Amino acid sequence: MNPFVVLNLSLECTDQEVRAAYRQGLRQYPPETHPHQFQAIQAAYELLRTERDRWRWHLLHDDAPGTGIIETLKAFARLPGRARPPGPKAFRDLLAAAAAAAARDATGPDAPSSSPSSHSRTAY
């Protein structure tokens, strides 16, 4: 399911445009008469609600075969001119690093950092 198609949005839409398209879809397809379309609209809205969600969908979406990040990495490993594709350990390490980065992004920009900042020195 492509949420941009479900909500009839451009790829560069704003939060306000997503919210307006969601409300338009709810008016057009109420849950009492169109339960399947209603569920698709809700699912699409959840995927595109914020700018961060839209960015994450662009990066990680798996809508068509061969377009997700895993398929892209596998295709990159098979490119001609690569002396030796990375082994399974390197691939697992790359996926672990990507998962850690996604987890850091999910905490939000206001989350306190676990490492002390070099700019915050206390004068004694």
Torsion, CA 102, CA 108, CA 112, CA 114, rounded to 10: 0
Mean pLDDT in consecutive groups of 10 residues from the start of the chain, 124 residues: 87 92 93 92 92 83 58 68 66 80 69 49 46
Reported as type and span, the H/E element at residue 97 is helix 88-107
Tell me what pLDDT residue 122 has.
47
C-alpha–C-alpha distance, residues 91 and 108, integer Å: 27
Fold of 1-61: Helix Hairpins (1.10.287)
Domain boundaries, the chain: 1-61, 64-103
Tell me what pLDDT residue 120 has.
47
